[in-house]
Structure 1
Amino acid sequence: MIYKNNAFRLSAFVFTMAVAFACFKKSSAPSISELDYAKFPLANLSEYGIYDGEMSQLVPTKDLLAYAPAMPLFTDYAFKKRFVYIPADSAASFDLNKPDAAFVFPEHSILVKNFYYPADFNKPDAEKQIIETRLLVKKGGKWEAYPYVWNKEQTEAVYKSIGGKVPVTFKNEAGESHSIDYTMPNKNQCKSCHNQGDTFSPIGLKVKQLNNDYAYAEGSENQLAHWMKLGKLKGEGDLTLVKNMVYMTDTKASLSDKARSYLDSNCGHCHNPNGPAGSSGLRLTVEENDPFHWGVYKSPVAAGMGAGNLKYDIFPGKGKESIITYRMNSTHPGVMMPEIGRVSIHKEGVALLTAWIDELEPKK
């Protein structure tokens, strides 16, 4: 009887300690709303309080919003999960009267982009390898980039500003195996795409990219409407007038809209009047209405070997003889476009742009 009582007491003690430890662990977990921005960048990604449960599941806490652009940027076939943190009692905003209608975020907003590869693309929610998580943090009125590299155990990611390469193997939707050295840009290289008018800024969060439905846990809803309902977005202008972007395989969209959306997402952040490639004369956003600025019968300003002895950026009726597709179809450092962010060729993107240019009416 004494033995049974002691066993019972021991069991009760173990149970109590387990509950206490769990509560302590839960209470000691960081909250993103209580972060000290003066200490950024933090050494470990886990210190930001971004994820709910195991980090490797890439599930955001209730303080963050998940989102997805209509036409994402190509990054060597990597899958991406994107979240945004907007502090309580504040909201992002947009103005449709301004070019691109990019969101303007309040102080202490945090954008989160996770890059990963499923072992089998046909099973995206099964085994995966998370490579990196990039944070864009707004503090002191300016945006800062903080890249984090995941460990092999997929339990933590550490701050690393110098970039690097990670070997990745995956099987695509067709069942083909691929191996690449995924290349992470260093902190300074981020500026080559994110500079707009000499100001470091986010490039993917725009009205034209989020004016579409997202599959939220409670049901599918327009992303802009969802954000507004939560009090996290406000804006000015008639949304029905926005030239929305579409995904490259959207069967309901025209070939032109798909090609223009692809160019906007992959090239437009540089090739616009305020972008790093503004002097090239190419303006590849969907708002540009002049075909010459898309590159139609436009000779390059200074492409060097990047022109490949071809005449025009876009040669109507001749997709394979256009400089844009030539540069997309290369991994040579002096030829390829975009210049960073990939080590492989996006074959589907090249095929889309080639088909679109082939259908453009040549001069008579």
Structure 2
Amino acid sequence: MIVRLVVSFCAALLLAACGHAPQAVTFHADDNPEKLSAWGLFTIAAGRIAPHQGMVTYELQTPLFSDYAQKWRTIWMPKGVHAAYRPDTAFDFPVGTIVTKTFYYTAPAGATDPQTSDTVVKMTPATYQTGVAGLDLRHVRLIETRLLVRRATGWVALPYIWDNDGRDATLARTGADIALTLDEGGKKVSFDYSVPNQNQCAGCHVQDFRTRAIEPIGLKARHLNRDFPGEGGEINQLKRLVATGYLTGVPAGAVPRNANWQDLKIGVVARARAYLDINCSHCHNPTGAARTSGLWLDAATIDPRLLGMCKPPVAAGRGTGDRPFDVVPGHPERSILPYRLASTDPGVMMPELGRDIEHQEGVRLIYDYILSLKGACTEDDGTGQAAR
């Protein structure tokens, strides 16, 4: 009897130990743990979620829009390895790299339980958190954390949805829809926030049809080339990655840099191109899923026709909105591009994944961009009228 009690007690201790999060980041080379805590990426205590040692928080020059969700991004690598710089595509990351992106909203002031509040607040400068020391959870509704894990066979994408108590997140292989209400200064907008399934993750992260390999979207020189707080102070992020041993091969000069889409000191064309690059170019590029559309929105493309100027659509169906060309210089109201960016119709909207509501500020930017363009489309649009 005593022996059985001792065995039972030891088994209970073992199970309890297994239920605790690791004390350091743990790379899983083959299995996909059901709980995010098994990766040992974060600690949650005293109303704050914080990254474990060695994780570097980063931000993009212009981020991808996701229904006004705020995002906390980190990267971690095992000791003794590093990524290799590439000028145009994602850096060449070593096996063992873990990239995290945590999506969250600010809960309204006075919310008794931010994690279960269905009403969330549209992002404002006052609610922004850098995430360098983690996130203050007192007014934060955590939604999901997506992992990109670099294994020997390539990258794998794993979406985790945060539990209602906000203490852990559960793997959601099939994705999910989460009903939320956005508060835009007193105007309420209800929508379904969509957590992608693993196949949908590939739909955006496979940027080259020839390899079909998943790659990071934001971890490219032109998106990271900016100052951001963290280790070493507020310095250039590429320099920080070099200083931490995470990146090698960065040239002394001629590093590409996209514009900050919100920086009004920069011309509208540069800001719009940066916005289209991060939101659209993972598909709209010479090797992407939308390559046959003839509309290429990556930063490297400079041919006006490939950028949509006076270009008729390719098999867009009702996605044209009866507009003649992708972009009609000076006439956003006659251009397909802003029409599809503004739409919330699943059969029309672009991007096809990652949003349920219109990004009003982003659409306004594209309107202003097209208004700034000079020229005229002289081809007959099929109605007997030239687009001018």
TM value normalised by structure 1? 0.86
Return the letter of the residue paired with 2:236: N
Q: How many corresponding residue pairs?
A: 336
Superposed displacement of residue 148, structure 1: 0.5
Q: Aligned residue for 1:279? A: 292
Q: Aligned residue for 1:351? A: 364
Q: Which runs of 5+ in 2 are unaligned?
A: 1-12, 108-120, 129-135, 378-388
- Are 2:45 and 1:54 equivalent residues in the alignment? yes
> 3-state SS of the aligned residue for 2:254?
helix
Superposed displacement of residue 61, structure 1: 1.1
Contact 1:328–1:336 (CA<8 Å) still a contact in 2?
yes
Picking from 76, 79, 93, the partner of 1:85 is 76
Distance change in 2, residues 1:293/1:55 (3 Å): farther
> 3-state SS of the aligned residue for 1:273?
coil
Counterpart CA distance in 2 for 1:182 and 1:33 is 29
- Are 2:325 and 1:305 equivalent residues in the alignment? no
Superposed displacement of residue 234, structure 1: 1.0
Contact 1:118–1:170 (CA<8 Å) still a contact in 2?
no
Q: Aligned residue for 1:213? A: 227
Once the two structures are superposed, the pairs formed by residues 164-313 of structure 1 within 5 Å of their partners are: 164-172=176-184, 174-197=185-208, 198-216=212-230, 218-235=232-249, 237=251, 239-242=253-256, 244-313=257-326
Q: Which runs of 5+ in 1 are unaligned?
A: 1-20
Distance change in 2, residues 1:282/1:31 (3 Å): farther
Counterpart CA distance in 1 for 2:321 and 2:189 is 28
Return the letter of the residue paired with 2:171: Y
Q: Aligned residue for 2:118? A: none
Q: Aligned residue for 1:317? A: 330
TM value normalised by structure 2? 0.81
Return the letter of the residue paired with 2:258: M
Superposed displacement of residue 301, structure 1: 1.4
Q: Aligned residue for 2:127? A: 123
Distance change in 2, residues 1:179/1:56 (3 Å): farther
Superposed displacement of residue 53, structure 1: 3.7
Moved more, 265-274 or 180-189: 180-189
- The structure with the largest helix share of the pair is 1
Picking from 340, 355, 358, the partner of 1:327 is 340
**How big is each residue's C-alpha offset from its partner over 1:297-332, in whole Å with a ceiling of 9 and x where there is no partner?**
111111111111211111100012110001011111
Q: Aligned residue for 1:76? A: 67
**How big is each residue's C-alpha offset from its partner over 1:41-67, in whole Å with a ceiling of 9 and x where there is no partner?**
111011111113439734211121111
Return the letter of the residue paired with 2:189: H
Picking from 29, 42, 58, the partner of 1:37 is 29
Q: Aligned residue for 2:98? A: 110
Contact 1:58–1:81 (CA<8 Å) still a contact in 2?
no
- For the aligned residues, what is the CA RMSD? 2.3
Return the letter of the residue paired with 2:196: P
Contact 2:83–2:94 (CA<8 Å) still a contact in 1?
yes
Q: Work out the percentage of aligned pairs sharing the same amino acid.
A: 38
> 3-state SS of the aligned residue for 1:171?
strand
Counterpart CA distance in 2 for 1:52 and 1:152 is 17
Contact 1:56–1:154 (CA<8 Å) still a contact in 2?
no
Return the letter of the residue paired with 2:102: N
Counterpart CA distance in 1 for 2:172 and 2:250 is 39
